[in-house]
Amino acid sequence: MQITELSTHLQGQLVAVNPAYDIMFDGFAPESLRGNPSGRQEWAVQQVKFAALASRNLGLNACATFSGALMWQNVYPWPQRPAGLVELGFRELGKRWKPILDVYEDAGVDLCYEVHAGEDLHDGITYEMFLKEVNDHPRACLLYDPSHFILQCLDYLTYIDHYHGRIKMFHVKDAEFNPTGKQGVYGGYQSWLNRAGRFRSPGDGQVDFGAVFSKLATYDYSGWAVLEWECAIKHPMEGAAEGAPFIQQHIIQVTDKAFDDFADSGADEAANRKILGI
């Protein structure tokens, strides 16, 4: 048994909570802090900082988190967003996270934001806006989970091309999006089972994991591939039994030679000049 990562998703969520979600997120904090947004945030910030030290002490080099959300209720707004609202929101988000990121820098641990619907960091554009506010902090890294991009209809493979240098964690989770004449991305307030977009066990959804593992191998990703199981249909025990072999089958042992090395005739400038007729 080996620890691959610590998670501060719930604590990270509480670093930035819009008042619209106070009641629902109060359950993420100790009972003594419920109904106390400022105390809850202070506690959450300290917990995320503690995770940097705990990760270092455990010999881990990356920790997972959520960004929290000050602006999510404005992602598809009516009435329209006031001018400057988004810019102010990201400045505040950067202000809250920059001191935390500095603690991770001191600990030598990457803090990896899971880009996720419901968070202010929910795609590449929002991640770039956040990076600007934390001065491209070297520890503001990414947890890559393609399932969340399936549900957003975002190109999860090109995303790797854009951000591979920041991807330090990888969750193997699948999803499917099957829109109908009655519902699409927003799901019509239905349960997970009845949504057009829903999470599935690895291999049962629409993520092309062969392509994902190939992309990550191409860019020399050196972290873990961690099974994250959420499925609207399959029993969790079956998902767990299938998950580890599924990942093992997709891990690529990167070659140390070109397939046609046997035909290499070496370097000979005179011969090359003769071939080119010069």
Task: Note the pLDDT tens digit of each residue in 139-177.
Answer: 999 999 999 999 999 999 999 999 999 999 999 999 999
Any idea of the CA torsion for 72, 117, 4, 17, to the nearest 10 degrees? Answer: 20
pTM for this prediction: 0.94
**CA atoms of 167 and 140, how far apart (whole Å):** 10
- Bridge partners of 263, per DSSP, are none
pLDDT for the residue 1: 84
Dist. CA 221–CA 167, nearest whole Å: 8
Confidence at residue 70, expressed as pLDDT on a 0 to 100 scale: 98
Does residue 67 contact residue 9 with C-beta atoms inside 8 Å?
A: no
pLDDT of residue 124: 98
Q: How does DSSP classify residue 163?
A: H
Q: Residue 226: beta bridge partners?
A: 171
Structural domain includes residue 218: yes
Would you tell me how many other CB atoms lie within 10 Å of the CB of residue 80? 8
Q: What is the tally of structural domains in the chain?
A: 1
Domain residue limits at 270: 6-276
CA dihedral (182, 186, 191, 192) in degrees, to 10, reads 110
- Contact criterion met (CB below 8 Å) for 67 and 8: no
* Residue 147 is assigned to a structural domain of this protein: yes
Question: 227: which strand partners?
Answer: 172
DSSP for 92-113, please give it.
Answer: HHHHHHHHHHHHHHHHT-EEEE
Contact assessment for residue 11 and residue 60, using Cβ atoms and an 8 Å cutoff: no
The β-bridge relationship of strands 174-177 and 197-200 is antiparallel
The CATH number given to whatever domain includes residue 207 is 3.20.20.150
- Across the chain, mean pLDDT equals 96
Predicted confidence at residue 19, as pLDDT, reads 96
Asked if the structure places residue 1 within a domain, the reply is: no
Q: Which positions of the chain have pLDDT values less than 50?
A: none
| Nearest-angstrom CA–CA distance, 159 and 167 | 10
